[in-house]
Amino acid sequence: MKTWLVTESDLDRIALGAGILGTGGGGNAYLGKLRARERLRAGQRIEIMLPSDLHDDDHIISVGAIGAPTVGIEKIEQGAEGCRAVRAIEAATGKRATALFTDEIGGANALEPMIAAAQLGLPIVDADGMGRAFPELQMNTFFIYGATSTPGVLADEHGATVVYQNVATARRLEKLVRAGTIAMGCSASFALPPFSGAQIKRHGIRHSVSHAWRLGDAVIGARVAKRDPVGEILHREAGRILFQGKIVDVHRWTNAGFARGTVSFDGLGAFASSRLQIEIQNENLIAQLDGEVVATVPDLICIVDAETARPISTEEIRYGMRVAVIGLPASPLLRSMEALAVIGPRAFGYDFDYQPIGSYVEPQPVEMYRDLAVA
Amino acid sequence: MKTWLVTESDLDRIALGAGILGTGGGGNAYLGKLRARERLRAGQRIEIMLPSDLHDDDHIISVGAIGAPTVGIEKIEQGAEGCRAVRAIEAATGKRATALFTDEIGGANALEPMIAAAQLGLPIVDADGMGRAFPELQMNTFFIYGATSTPGVLADEHGATVVYQNVATARRLEKLVRAGTIAMGCSASFALPPFSGAQIKRHGIRHSVSHAWRLGDAVIGARVAKRDPVGEILHREAGRILFQGKIVDVHRWTNAGFARGTVSFDGLGAFASSRLQIEIQNENLIAQLDGEVVATVPDLICIVDAETARPISTEEIRYGMRVAVIGLPASPLLRSMEALAVIGPRAFGYDFDYQPIGSYVEPQPVEMYRDLAVA
């Protein structure tokens, strides 16, 4: 079995790439990166394994942070919440985790399971359930394709765990868990029921950690080489540039628990005479160029700083920022009829159909897999 | 062991008496009475046992309804929520319940455990943890005197259960469970961690079910005999009349999740030249006669219809009602320093100390215990 031992510089790349895959949401990956780095400096290991190396009857538990990204920045974890959530899932199911993973590679949750995995001595599977960030927990490929939604566990910084059992649907679980998260101070750890190795292989989005790493490596490599980081992303990825310009207007409001907004951009360079508008519901969902829809959820609409390609979250967006907007195609697992019913434009309340922006190219595992086999 | 098999007419008495002990809150006992009656008509038994017959190592689980009383009237139970909550506590602790009981005799929760007990074939212990109703779950004698507050279980009408574990304090459990209840539609079933027979004997308020029965029997007996029901209550109880009169003003507002209000009464009869004011936070908490405090929480301030002695809940109160206000002394278990810190006037935000309205006389088990021994 080939595995990959994550280094501190890998964490830099994964956190940066996860920020881009967050499409404006998913929470801040920087704090998670620092906490994961502390695990490495304490002598613990973060080991990434290929989904193809899973046994069909393995038990893989997704663990991560849940709550408001703005709160997550200020309310620091006690440190072992993720471990407690995993252990409570194990106790509720009688199944021992053979590996951990994230159901959401975009944003903070790319790092969260690594922190628990380092503490528990478990590997991380190079896969996720979104290929990006989504605001609610029913919005992952496992639940979309029929995985049982409970037990789920919330864990807070005081040692409390809350075990949700026999909840009929993932959507109802989301409702109950969201209320619990708010009562815990709008930020907590959450673990999903164990998925089997067969489920991960069938419904997981493969090599998501590698994808985040590759995006981060493009940006960091370009910065070091004094090349254009945005150009380097476009060079390596199957996506395309949607816009370059300046933020000229930001409207924000809150509706049904979503941080919503409309952001307007005036074009620069090749887009000098154009205007872009992006609709936000926690993540960037819809991009309209001169009034025409050019990208929609579940495809990724990533706003990055024009110079540095630093990902810009929806909370940070403000007048005057110079940005590039990159569109990345979503996995086919997110583009099916079943998936679009949960995460397509209509599922978010828009009155038009999904319009794919291009073909998805499955990310390959990072090259290190070949060099750093440990078993 | 002497036990008492509850009949339909007993249910009438218990529900009516529980309404009076609710001191305006605790939820509507009428619907619970109908549901308990259905259990009897289905051939199931509701059996009451004395707390003195418990073994010290028995496991007694409190189960009841939680949520907004106004919602509880409209959102009818599926029927087995209480059973599921009890079973989930048993699964989480590995302890089988030997009996059930209510931690809150006032209002709907006098009946709720009887419904689950009939279904599960378990007896009900003639004791509770409040001797009345209180709005929050940390406000019972077991938690006041240091019982472990978890695991607790919420169960909804769809079969879901939520298990709260390792929550440090009962107050924090209340916060988490309240949020879960709201997400379940403001009405759910809740079970507390098992208390031992020794705990019930030491910290339980003894013969609460009998107390409710006795109050209900006083009222129903007087009605049948064409005597004055209010007078009959005063004849049988250690309490005293606080006021007789007419509601002339009702102010309501909501603050920090409490249904709050101030009710003003103009006197009639012996109180003709006086005015009473009652402060409400879900329950009737403070009574002031002509500006002077005459009764405070935890003593019971019970508003009943002047003619029929039907208990009047805080939601029902309206201009023009003719009522009697009865004060009943609280158990010494509610009058200690530890208890007053949780349920005294200052704990509810009032700037004065508790002033006892008289001596508590422990209720005796209903006479039927002597006649209907079944084991």
Give me the CATH number covering residue A166: 3.40.1610.10
Q: Is residue A166 part of a domain?
A: yes
pLDDT at site B369 = 63
**B88 → chain A, closest CA residue:** A165
Assign A371 a pLDDT band (cuts: 50, 70, 90): low
Do A245 and A116 fall into the same domain? no
Write the single-letter amino acid at B164. Y
Q: Which residues of A touch B165 (CB under 8 A)?
A: 88, 160-163
Q: Is residue A359 part of a domain?
A: no
Span B204-215, average pLDDT: 97
Q: Quick one: which H or E segment has residue A235?
A: helix A229-236
Do A166 and A287 fall into the same domain? no
- Judging by DSSP bridges, how do beta strands A322-328 and A240-255 pair with one another? antiparallel
Q: Is residue A319 part of a domain?
A: yes
Q: Which residues of B touch A191 (CB under 8 A)?
A: none
Mutate to test the interface with B, among A165, A167, A181 (most CBs of B within 10 A): A165
The burial of A342, by beta-carbon neighbours within 10 Å (0-12 exposed, 13-18 middle, 19 or more buried), is given as buried
Q: Structural domain of residue B120, as residue ranges?
A: 3-208+364-371
pLDDT for A123-143, tens place per residue?
999 999 999 999 999 999 999
Q: Is residue B24 part of a domain?
A: yes
pLDDT at site A370 = 56
Q: What is the largest CA-CA distance in chain B?
A: 61
Distance between CA atoms of residues B262 and B286, nearest Å: 10
Q: Given an 8 Å threshold on Cβ–Cβ distance, is A160 in contact with B160? A: no
With beta carbons less than 8 A apart as the criterion, state whether B180 and A180 touch: yes
Do A233 and A332 fall into the same domain? yes
Span A74-103, average pLDDT: 95
Q: Is residue A357 part of a domain?
A: no
Do B110 and B10 fall into the same domain? yes
Q: Is the pLDDT of residue A155 over 80?
A: yes
* A77 or A61, which is more confident: A61
Question: What values do phi and psi take at B38, rounded to 5?
Answer: -60, -35
Q: Is the pLDDT of residue B372 over 60?
A: no
- Judging by DSSP bridges, how do beta strands B258-267 and B240-255 pair with one another? antiparallel
pLDDT for A209-237, tens place per residue?
999 999 999 999 999 999 999 999 999 99
Mean pLDDT, rounded, of chain A:
94
Mean pLDDT, rounded, of chain B:
94
Do B277 and B244 fall into the same domain? yes
Q: Is residue A17 part of a domain?
A: yes
Do A11 and A137 fall into the same domain? yes
Measured between CB atoms, which of A163, A168, A179 is closest to B159?
Answer: A168
Q: Is the pLDDT of residue A373 over 60?
A: no
With beta carbons less than 8 A apart as the criterion, state whether A283 and A303 touch: no
Do B148 and B294 fall into the same domain? no
Q: What is the largest CA-CA distance in chain A?
A: 61
User: What angle is formed at CA A160 by the lines to CA A159 and CA A165, rounded to 5 degrees?
Assistant: 140
Q: Is the pLDDT of residue B375 over 70?
A: no
Q: Is the pLDDT of residue B46 over 80?
A: yes
By three-state DSSP, how is residue B108 classified? helix
Q: Is residue A309 part of a domain?
A: yes
CATH number assigned to the domain comprising residue B239 = 2.40.390.10
Do B124 and B246 fall into the same domain? no
Do A237 and A136 fall into the same domain? no
Distance from CA of B158 to the nearest CA of A (A): 7
Do A152 and A270 fall into the same domain? no
Do B233 and B332 fall into the same domain? yes
Structural domains of chain A, count: 2
Q: Is the pLDDT of residue B9 over 80?
A: yes
With beta carbons less than 8 A apart as the criterion, state whether A156 and A181 touch: no
Measured between CB atoms, which of B160, B164, B182 is closest to A160?
Answer: B164
Weakest mean pLDDT among A322-336, B219-233, B256-270: B256-270
Measured between CB atoms, which of B158, B166, B176 is closest to A180?
Answer: B176
pLDDT for B47-60, tens place per residue?
999 999 999 999 99
pLDDT at site B373 = 42
Would you mind telling me the total number of residues written for chain B in this entry? 375
Do A239 and A204 fall into the same domain? no
Alpha-carbon torsion (B214, B218, B219, B225), positive or negative: positive
Q: Is residue B358 part of a domain?
A: no
